[in-house]
Amino acid sequence: MQFDLEIVQAFVEVSKRATALDEINAAFMGVAGRFGYGHVATTRLRDYSQGPRSVDAVVTYPEVWKGRYSEMKFHEVDPVFASLGRRSTPFFWSGDSEEGTREERSFFDESRSAGVKRGLSLAMLISKSETAAVTWAGNFGEESDGLKHMFHLIATYYYQRLRLIQAGTFDTSRKEVTLTARESEVLQWYAVGKSAWEIGVILGVSESTVRFHLSSVRRKFDVSSTVHATALAVAREYIQI
């Protein structure tokens, strides 16, 4: 199919109005389905050796297949997963071919029976250490240059809007929080598992000073646990882990 700007623009308009995850996901799945792709998968990848992170993932693959994928550590075999780190434009992939190693072929045999035979994926660098992967997959998906270009734009609009929504940008009840440099620093260390005492040693301040900063952070986010405050700070990208 030829590149069709109207299809892209229609999605762009919906994405700009979407303020909830359900809205943006439904629109994204709708346009995928139109081109024969029954599944979408969106994950953030930090450390490639660890496989896709499931925390903020939107994956419509059958549960059985998702379970098999993580249980069998299929990311170590999946050639699509390996390609994501090397490519910055969308690419089609297919498990049809006779090429590839024996492991790859048997991986695709299983993936096909789960309804994930071919697809279109885009990797986007979203910070120094994180890449996001957006995929349309199915057994009957269309493959053309026009679609690849449309997907490039649609997936980019989709993922960036998804991030804004996940960060609570459109949550009207949300209180605007401003952390001081010291508070973010303390929370950053807390987020990677350091105790108040350890953070004190790292930053050269007393343990009670660290506790004081953490209590300010809790007060600012209006929550009673530091874990909760940390989760919010990560989701809104005040800190990165």
> Considering only CA atoms, which of 7, 20, 34 is closest in space to residue 172?
20
> 169 in helix, strand or coil?
coil
Q: Is residue 152 involved in binding another protein (CB under 8 A)?
A: yes
- The least distance separating another protein from the CB of residue 4, rounded to whole angstroms, comes to 8
Neighbours of 201 (CB within 10 A): 13
* Segment interacting with another protein (CB under 8 A) among 21-29, 39-47, 75-83, 145-153: 145-153
Interface stretch with another protein, choices 98-106, 156-164, 201-209, 219-227 (CB under 8 A): 156-164
Which among 42, 55, 50 is positioned nearest to 137, based on CA atoms? 42
Residue 156 contacts another protein per CB under 8 A: yes
Q: Of residues 10, 21, 29, 153, which one binds another protein by CB under 8 A?
A: 153
- How many CB atoms neighbour CB 98 within 10 A? 5
Residue 86 Cβ vs another protein, minimum distance, rounded to whole Å: 15
Tokens, residue 113 = 């029976």
Tell me which residue of 2, 123, 110, 125 sits closest to 62, measured CA to CA: 110
Among 89, 94, 208, 240, binds another protein (CB under 8 A): 89
Give the total of residues touching another protein (CB under 8 A).
Answer: 24
Residues 116-135 that bind another protein (CB under 8 A): 124-126
Is the C-alpha dihedral spanning 216, 222, 227, 233 positive or negative? negative
Q: Which segments of 82-227 are extended strands (E)?
A: 91-94, 118-125, 131-138
Does 149 interact with another protein (rule: CB under 8 A)?
Answer: yes
In the complex, which residues of this chain contact another protein (CB under 8 A)? 3-5, 8-9, 12, 16, 88-89, 124-126, 146, 149-150, 152-153, 156-157, 160-161, 163-164, 169
